[in-house]
Amino acid sequence: MARVKICPRCGRLNPPSSSICLSDECSWDLTGIRAENLREESPVPAPETGASPDCGGQKPEPAVSRNSGPEVSPAPEPRPAPGSSLAPEIPPGKIYVRICPGCGTENRAVAKVCTACRQDIRMVPKTLADRKTGTGTADSPRPAVPENTLIAVLKSPDGTELLRIDSEHPVHVIGREHTLMEYLAGRDYTSRRHAELVVSGKRLVIRDFGKPNGTFINNVRMAAESAETLKDGDRVSLGGIWEEDWKSSLAGCFTVSYPGRS
């Protein structure tokens, strides 16, 4: 017995894990739709071709129970009709999309990450947009590849440039065995995979990986596995507070600079 999600708008049968109707003409939100068991009809047995020898060469009539009435199949459960208040029609030429709050890119309604800036958009509500501009639809042109843009520069406490982060490389894992591994060599309070920097629009977001020594912004410890947007001039230390004698510190330290912005 298969389980499916039945779209209340177009009636399409979708997999039970679908969050949106897979029909390109519909794309209805199935988040609140419960999966149903698709009942398969049992095959009707073929009638016997042989005649019983005790019936004079004639086929025996089927026995009829006098204690039971005719079998009645259960009535199907009612489903919302297209055009009802439970399944409002999508205007012609429209489609549901998720608009990234960081860069404004229109993404398909099923997208979890923005295709342009890689920001998490799972909590962004779906909105209607013109079908011809909806990213990833069958009849829409592909968006132009944005020009590579410098987003931020990471510097050591003495002002030495450590890393330039641009729009073509929006994600960096920071740690003793990842990005900045040479600079962080010997910083034993910093984990091998300590935190992550992600471009969000024109800013950087740092996400802590929940390591025991923690991640600090301006000497304030972040909540474990949380994320915060970094401002120009923020001082980040991995594994401990920012110390004036940073060269002998076992925590990795760097500042964030946004060129041309503050």
Share of the chain above pLDDT 70, in %: 73
Sole residue written with tokens 């972040």: 222
Handedness of CA 76, 81, 87, 90 (dihedral sign): positive
pLDDT value of position 145: 44
The whole-number pLDDT of residue 19 equals: 77
- Measured CA to CA, the distance from residue 179 to residue 174 in angstroms comes to 5
- Whole-number Cα distances in Å, 250 to 45, 128, 194, 239: 79, 51, 14, 8
Residue 135: the pLDDT is 43
Q: Which long-range contacts (CB under 8 A, 24 or more apart) does 111-117 make?
A: 111/136, 115/143, 116/143, 116/146, 117/167, 117/170, 117/199, 117/200, 117/201
Between 32 and 236, the higher pLDDT residue:
236
The token pair that represents 237 in the structure block: 């230390």
User: What per-residue confidence (pLDDT) applies to 160?
Assistant: 94
- What is the model's pLDDT at position 133? 44
pLDDT of residue 219: 95
Q: Which two tokens stand for residue 164?
A: 């330039």
pLDDT, tens digit, for every residue of 70-94? 555 555 555 555 444 444 567 777 8
Average pLDDT, the chain: 77
* Residue with more model confidence, 90 or 261: 90
State the pLDDT confidence band at 1, using cuts at 50, 70 and 90: low
Choose the most confident range, by mean pLDDT, from 87-91, 96-100, 220-224.
Answer: 220-224
Q: What pLDDT digit, counting tens, does each position of 237-251 carry?
A: 999 999 888 888 999
Please tell me the distance from the alpha carbon of residue 261 to that of residue 256, in angstroms, as a whole number: 11
Quick one: pLDDT at residue 39? 65
Per-residue pLDDT for 169 more than 80?
Answer: yes
Backbone torsions φ then ψ of 54, nearest 5 degrees: -85, 0
What band does 234 get if pLDDT is binned at 50, 70 and 90?
A: very high
Q: With 50 as the cut, is the pLDDT of residue 222 above it? A: yes
